[in-house]
Amino acid sequence: MYSRILLAAVAVVVVVANAFLGPVSSQQTDCERSCGDIDIPFPFGLEEGCYHSKDQLVTCNRSSAGDPILFLNKSPIVIKNMVPADSTIRVMGDVAHDCNDNSPDQDIRNKAWLSLKNFWISDDNSFFAIGCQTDAYVIGRKKKDQVITGCVTTCDDNSSSGNTNGSCSGNGCCEMTFQKGLGYSKVMVSRNNTIPLKSCSHAFVVEKGGYNFLSTDLADFGKEEMPMLLVWAIGDKTCKEVDKGADDFLCKGDHQGCVEDYDGPGYRCHCKEGYAGNPYIKDNCANIDECKVGTHNCTEKQKCVDKEGDFACIGNELPIVQISIGTSVAGLFLLLLFTWIYLGLKRRKNLILREKFFKQNGGIMLQQRISGDGGSQIQAKLFTVEELEKATNNYDQSKIIGKGGFGTVYKGVLPDDIIVAIKKSKIVDQTQTQVDQFINEVIILSRINHRNVVKLIGCCLETEVPSLVYEFIPNGTLFDHLHGVSKYKAINWDIRLRIAIETAGALSYLHSAASVPIIHRDVKPMNILIDSSYVEKVADFGASRLIPMDQKELATMVQGTLGYLDPEYFHTSQLTEKSDVYSFGVVLVELLTGKKIIDFDRPEKERNLIKHFIAFLEKETLLEVLDEHLQLKEVPHDIILVSRLAQRCLHLKGDERPTMKEVALELEGISASMIDKHPWVKNTSNEEATEYLPNEPSESCEVTDDSNTGPTDFYSIIRKPKITPI
């Protein structure tokens, strides 16, 4: 870390000298192209005229071991190698540490900074956190969105016992893969200060295969840098946007071109198949002699003959002319045969493919579930591919109304002019867990008949990605109204109380009145839809579970949203109806305050809104934390009662929380009792302090139900830019 600071000082002269240098359209022929034993290929360079733009300036630090240093926005990075054919650079990234030793440099050590421009973290990297009771984050940016990704670890004690070498499932070590196109500015690591631990915690980005966890690393990690892979592009225009005739366009040559399937920002060059070289240098992609390098597939009885951009395998027993004639005749015969049978095969292929997707997407499982309960409760319609394509104009991008972790939602119009929302799942690895989750949502929604639960109309299983068809709710989500653009047209307290009552009633119905009890498992404002009359609809049952009548709890892989996730469920994996009660208590706090539950933009003591809210409630200074858009001068009695109800819902122990039925009845009672009473009553009671989850992660996080992860799992948040009201 300190060596980086010294290198940055050395870099000042270089930065100033090149401050006024613009893009270089062509490279000089007498440029130095190495630093020590590291090659520095174009578009990078060591001096003016040898690089494409100042973003590709490399400075060779000859005063030390000779490692080349790449300055990105004035940040020094040690380069290990550069591969222009893949648009990649292998560099050394800092390791962030947290030792809870209160040393003067601790605040510097627990962050690893790196500013990137036209460089991104390759998805061939992994993010690791090592230590006990450790929270680790990568804070970065993807296009215009800030992205926070990370994982958490736990340990039973401070020893290495129970930790398995090579395993990063959450016990002493956790691992997370990267999505494409992610740039980042810093790595952060922190620990649970309430637990006395002697060892340190560490977090870093490393190239896949570059690190294998050892249990001894918990006591002595000893590394300050790890190899990581960056990818880069030229400029800020894609292949479709750039002027390919411009002098500074680099992908020029008969055997090289622009990577069309790369969607930017910027563009990348590549050599065409059968050619190799530096695609960023004009006419540098040369023919590969597959016969010499041994990359052909000719047999021992055949002779490999190199061709421009290709090769041919020639049999020794036949002359080349005979082979050509025979190939032509056979090709003509196959063409005629294919034309003759094409129409029949096309229809059969489509039928087979649809049947394959139907089985792959759980169609057989759905039929078995329907026959298992007589089909009397499942009324969903099975739509054809053509019906949904027509409803969405072939899934036109303008029809998109929302995107989530498991798919995209389109607005569609059925033939009878009914407007619907069509949820099209993402193309992911087809695992039994994902199929079960999709069929689970169909079955659960088919069993529900409640005005405050989104209605399932049907589904389509005939395509590679299955789709669900819901009733269309036009007014967005509760999250949008509390935190989005519409928050400046703030909903008043009467509407908020009604939304709380309706949500509690819907959850009470799921727990108590449904034919089989249903636990939602992901109650949060983003899953509460609002219609044009501000009537709420509970949605997104992909994570929900049916509870057998003879059971009160169910052991599951932990899934939900951190910040809203029941701490008792998080630590025991025992899912109960009280898990939804905790999540609903968090929603009540959000309705009262109008603030996000966890927000990095707030001061550190206020980042966790739950603890902040409870503290103000118990000090009888509730007015200071309530939503300013409610325009209150005093705290009304009904708001005090709702706040106290939220406090009881947020008990650490599920047994101490009320049931959803009790919550719903109490909210209705609060609403009814205030009709004939004066609304401004100061609260003088001081209920007993309640125990709350300490040290929750400092940002709301999605915890995915993945069979390849441990009980702590991984989480990812995309935080949208702030919107200033007009």
Q: What is the pLDDT of residue 461?
A: 86
**Residue 684's pLDDT is what?**
32
Residue 379 has pLDDT above 70, yes or no: no
Burial of residue 478 (number of CB atoms within 10 Å: 0-12, 13-18, 19+): buried
Using the predicted structure, report yes or no on whether residue 516 has a pLDDT greater than 80.
no
Domain boundaries, the chain: 2-85, 96-204+212-218, 365-471, 478-539+557-695
3-state secondary structure of 282: coil
**What would the pLDDT profile of 442-463 be if each residue is shown by its tens digit?**
777 777 788 999 888 888 888 8
Q: Which of 522, 580, 627, 713 is catalytic?
A: 522
Report the alpha-carbon distance of residue 288 to residue 324 in Å, rounded.
Answer: 23
CA distance 698 to 694: 11
Q: What is the mean pLDDT of residues 349-362?
A: 82
Q: Which residues pair with 130 in a beta bridge?
A: 173, 202
Distance CA 678, CA 355 (A): 65
| Residue among 448, 681, 653 at smallest CA distance from 568 | 653
- Find the mean pLDDT for residues 655-680: 83
Greater model confidence, 260 or 22: 260
Q: Is the pLDDT of residue 715 over 70?
A: no
First-to-final CA distance of the chain: 44
The residue-averaged pLDDT of 117-127 equals 84
Mean pLDDT of the chain: 78
Say which DSSP state 253 is in.
S
Q: How far apart are CA 218 and CA 134, in angstroms?
A: 11
Provide the whole-model pTM.
0.48
By CB atoms closer than 10 A (0-12, 13-18, 19+), residue 488 is exposed
Q: Taking 90 as the threshold, does the pLDDT of residue 352 lie above it?
A: no
Query: What pLDDT is stored for residue 245 in this prediction?
Result: 87
Give the tens place of pLDDT for each residue, 551-588.
Answer: 555 555 566 787 898 999 888 888 899 999 999 999 99
- In this predicted structure, what is the pLDDT of residue 71? 61
What number of residues does the chain have? 726
Q: How confident is the model over 331-342, as pLDDT tens digits?
A: 888 888 888 888
pLDDT of residue 190: 81
Superfamily of domain 365-471: Phosphorylase Kinase; domain 1 (3.30.200.20)
Q: How far apart are CA 512 and CA 581, in angstroms?
A: 13
Of residues 715 and 135, more confidence is placed in 135
Distance CA 269, CA 602 (A): 43
Alpha-carbon span 197 to 608, nearest angstrom = 23
Distances (CA, A) of 20 to 53, 236, 246, 662: 11, 19, 22, 69
Side-chain half-sphere of 18: how many Cα atoms within 13 Å? Answer: 27
Look up 522 and say whether it is catalytic: yes
Spell out the CATH class of 478-539+557-695. Answer: mainly alpha
- Round to whole Å and give the CA distance between 306 and 80: 34
Q: What is the pLDDT of residues 625-636, one digit of tens each?
A: 999 888 888 999
Q: What percent of the chain has pLDDT over 90?
A: 28
